[in-house]
């Protein structure tokens, strides 16, 4: 075994994920030797503080506090960027790709912000950028979309991509508890970051949706081009109302492509899903993704979306692919589908769907003055926008003299709902900003 060629790896970042990769890679070594005929060696590890105590014993001689030195080291073939952030991480990534190295990344924020630049750099210098760990942790969804389902176009991909939000929603639903109290508990348990904004406001999910949309449709959709709504305003009453109507509530990314009009929409929003649907029953920190291919039909993938081990599993999967590439020469494997939009018979790259083409049923919760005529006023505002009401639930609100008015609509569109919402918010009898959730009867 000592005669096998050695492939050298540099780790940039030795936090939760980096430590997981270090730990699990030790075990995969014999497997890689047997199956791929190479020996892997983690030659350098860049950390912020060299003397910090850690859960893994990396020899001090391999530690450095300069990730750029790792990225540019001619003795290193594969660079794992596990630092996070979009500043130094971008420089490290580009520097390694400019030297024709393989970069492995779990950094969805970076890909979302600088993906076009990163893939252009890889293309130009014969480097490769692998990113299985960036979306849905241990579920190999990138490989599934790029390789396994290559025969398909994807009219709809939707799913739960953020374990923190799913943990919070699952706990709120199961135990009728408030958002604030579950969030506090999630922080104490380490399921939520000290600064939870990126997760609960939907931005982390949006970054992942951006990556999936690019893989499936070959275009970069920025979060500011998406509807991005978080989970902060959802209450136990919303879960109760949804349950009465036969639904659960999940924070979903929804990537929908209309191939006839060649329009793409990417959105992140809390969504009512039929209680019996599989995704509605994906609980806790798990992720779940539904991928509908036009050849294969609906497929579903469920697994841990984050955490040390699940993410390490994905990074090591990419390391195996990198080893297979290096065993030959640069360039094997199926490239990401950036070319799909231009090259496939789908024709030109899709344009982003305007709001009036993004259709859904809606759930609308209004806190209103408990007085006669309010429902009539609300209904007439909806009617003016041609929004047809499917059901109404009214009950006392927490405030004195207030009522909670929950409407569901038949299918309408984002433009009409947005207009109705603005008008409703201006009504004197509407006491709080209306809460709008989408209803995802995807399989109906």
At 347, which helix (H) or strand (E)?
none
Provide, rounded to whole angstroms, the least separation between the CB of residue 38 and its own copies. 11
Please pick, among 101, 108, 143, 208, the residue that the annotation labels catalytic.
208
Task: Report, in Å, the least distance between residue 133 CB and its own copies.
Answer: 11
**Site residues (CB under 8 A) for its own copies?**
24-25, 27-31, 33-36, 132, 137-140, 143-144, 147-152, 276, 278, 281, 293, 295-304, 309-310, 312-314, 316-317, 320-321, 324-325, 327-329, 331-335, 337, 339-340, 342-345
Give how far Cα 197 sits from Cα of 33, 201, 231, 251, 339, Å.
Answer: 43, 6, 10, 14, 34
- Where helices occur in 329-427 by DSSP H, the ranges are 338-343, 374-384, 414-426
Q: In the block, which residue shows the tokens 């199961």?
A: 174
What DSSP element (H or E) covers 23?
helix 16-36
Q: Give the separation between CA 102 and CA 437, rounded to whole angstroms.
A: 42
Q: Are strands 156-160 and 78-81 parallel, antiparallel or unpaired?
A: unpaired
Q: Taking a C-beta distance cutoff of 8 angstroms, is the pair 66, 34 a contact?
A: no
Q: Cβ(414)–Cβ(349) under 8 Å?
A: no
Report the residue number, 16 or 64, with the smaller CB distance to its own copies: 16
Closer CB to its own copies, 255 or 337, in the complex: 337
Question: Given the structure tokens 């990534």, which residue do they identify?
Answer: 93
Residue 439 φ/ψ region, left for φ over 0, alpha for ψ in the -120 to 50 degree band, beta for the rest: beta
| Burial letters 380-404, b for 16+ CB under 10 A, else e | ebbeebebebeeebeeebeeeebbb
The 8-class DSSP code of residue 430 comes to B
Q: How far is the CB of 23 from its own copies (least distance, A)?
A: 9
Name which of 187 and 301 has its Cβ closer to its own copies: 301
Helices 414-426, 374-384: crossing angle, 10 deg rounding: 150
Joined tokens for residue 292? 């509908």
Largest CA distance in the chain: 85
Q: How far is the CB of 179 from its own copies (least distance, A)?
A: 25
Rounded least distance, CB 278 to its own copies, Å: 6
Q: Is the Cβ of residue 23 or residue 125 nearer to its own copies in the bound state?
A: 23
- Rank residues 149 and 245 by Cβ distance to its own copies and give the closer one: 149
Nearer to its own copies, 301 or 418 (CB): 301
208 is catalytic: yes
Closest approach of its own copies to the CB of residue 308, in Å:
10
What is the rounded distance in angstroms from the CA atom of residue 7 to the CA atom of residue 29? 11
Which residue number, 266 or 312, has a Cβ lying nearer to its own copies?
Answer: 312
Shortest Cβ 1–its own copies spacing (Å): 9
Going by the DSSP 8-state scheme, the letter that residue 301 receives in this structure is E
In degrees, to the nearest 5, what angle opens at C-alpha 207 toward C-alphas 204 and 212? 125
CA dihedral of residues 330, 332, 336, 338 (deg, nearest 10):
70
Looking at the annotation, which residues are catalytic?
A: 208
């Amino acid at each position: 075994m000592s005669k096998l060629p050695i492939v050298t790896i540099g780790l940039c970042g030795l936090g939760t994920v980096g430590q997981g990769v270090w730990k699990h890679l030790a075990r995969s070594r014999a497997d890689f030797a047997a199956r791929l005929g190479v020996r892997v060696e983690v030659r350098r590890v860049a950390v912020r503080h060299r003397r910090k105590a850690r859960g893994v014993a990396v020899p001090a001689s391999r530690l450095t506090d300069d990730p750029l030195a790792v990225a540019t080291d001619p003795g290193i073939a594969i660079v794992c960027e596990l630092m996070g952030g979009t500043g130094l991480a971008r420089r490290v990534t580009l520097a390694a790709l400019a030297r024709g190295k393989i970069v492995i990344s779990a950094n969805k924020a970076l890909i979302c912000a600088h993906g076009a630049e990163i893939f252009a750099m890889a293309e130009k210098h014969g480097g490769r950028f692998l990113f299985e760990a960036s979306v849905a942790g241990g579920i190999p969804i990138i490989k599934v979309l790029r390789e396994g389902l290559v025969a398909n176009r994807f009219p709809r991909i939707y799913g739960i991509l953020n374990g923190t939000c799913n943990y919070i929603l699952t706990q709120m639903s199961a135990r009728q508890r408030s958002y604030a109290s579950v969030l506090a508990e999630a922080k104490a348990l380490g399921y939520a970051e000290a600064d939870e904004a990126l997760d609960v406001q939907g931005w982390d999910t949006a970054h992942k949706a951006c990556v999936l949309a690019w893989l499936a449709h070959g275009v970069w959709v920025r979060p500011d081009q998406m509807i991005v709504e978080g989970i902060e305003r959802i209450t136990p009453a919303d879960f109760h109302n949804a349950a009465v109507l036969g639904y659960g509530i999940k924070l979903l990314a929804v990537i929908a492509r209309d191939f006839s009009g060649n329009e793409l929409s990417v959105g992140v929003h809390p969504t009512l899903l039929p209680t019996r649907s599989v995704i509605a029953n994906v609980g806790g920190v798990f992720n779940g993704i539904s991928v509908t291919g036009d050849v294969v039909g609906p497929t579903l993938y469920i697994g841990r979306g984050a955490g040390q081990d699940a993410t390490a599993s994905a990074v090591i999967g990419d390391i195996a692919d990198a080893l297979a590439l290096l065993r030959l020469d640069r360039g094997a494997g199926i490239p990401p589908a950036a070319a799909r939009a231009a090259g496939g018979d789908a024709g030109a790259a899709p344009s982003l769907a305007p709001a009036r083409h993004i259709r859904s049923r809606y759930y609308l919760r209004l806190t209103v003055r408990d007085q006669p005529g309010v429902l009539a006023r609300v209904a007439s505002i909806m009617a003016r926008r041609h929004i047809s009401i499917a059901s109404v639930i009214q009950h006392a609100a927490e405030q004195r003299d207030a009522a909670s008015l929950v409407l569901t609509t038949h299918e309408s569109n984002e433009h009409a709902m947005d207009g109705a919402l603005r008008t409703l918010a201006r009504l004197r009898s509407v006491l709080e900003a209306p809460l709008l959730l989408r209803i995802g009867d995807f399989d109906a």
